[in-house]
Amino acid sequence: MKKVFKTIGWILLLSLIAIQFFHPTKNNAAGVQPNAITNVHAVPNNVNEILKKACNDCHSNNTAYPWYHKIQPVDWWLNSHINEGKGKFNFDEYAQKSLRYQFHKLEEVVEMVKEGEMPLESYTWIHKDAKLTQDERGILINWAEASMDSMKAHYPIDSLIRKKQ
């Protein structure tokens, strides 16, 4: 029985070493992002700083990776979170979406920030600087609401909101 555990231990160790050579593609787009939200809405510096520290790692095409991303299977786990976050909302792909989508995502920003659902607790647990203060939450919510108001002023409401039936 002792020999079986020793064999299993060696297999696990060799597997752990082997997977260190396999990493997913990094989320680091080079250059200007032509479809970024900043190309559609004014994003003041204070809002941009909040987005950088609390949102962009998972909701943009550029992630600032922590040192531990080089360790597998942690890198796969991080990559999964990044892909999931970008799938829900990507600030760098915002402008290529429909007006209805854009408006709805701003509504979600307001809702998620108000309810404290974003940034995720699992993210802020490690990234302490990503925790938003009440003032930062207010700044982000006010910016999203102002951007929505701007959209309402420039586009017909039925292009922004689906009619309830």
27-73 confidence digits (pLDDT tens): 788 777 899 999 999 999 999 999 999 999 999 999 888 887 788 88
Residues 6+ apart with CB under 8 A from 110: 141, 144, 145, 148
DSSP lists the bridge partners of residue 55 as none
What gap in Å lies between CA 104 and CA 27, rounded to an integer? 25
Residues 6+ apart with CB under 8 A from 136: 50, 54
What pTM did the predictor assign? Answer: 0.82
Per-residue pLDDT 10s for the chain (165 aa) are 788 777 887 878 777 777 777 777 887 887 778 999 999 999 999 999 999 999 999 999 998 888 877 888 888 888 888 899 999 999 999 999 999 999 999 999 999 999 989 988 888 888 888 899 999 999 999 999 999 999 999 888 888 887 765
**Percentage helix, strand, coil for the chain under 3-state DSSP, each rounded to 5:** 65, 0, 35
pLDDT score recorded for residue 51? 95
Q: Which two tokens stand for residue 14?
A: 């060799």
Residues 6+ apart with CB under 8 A from 106: 144, 145, 147, 148, 151
91, 140 contact by CB (below 8 A): no
Max distance between CA atoms of the chain, in angstroms, equals 74
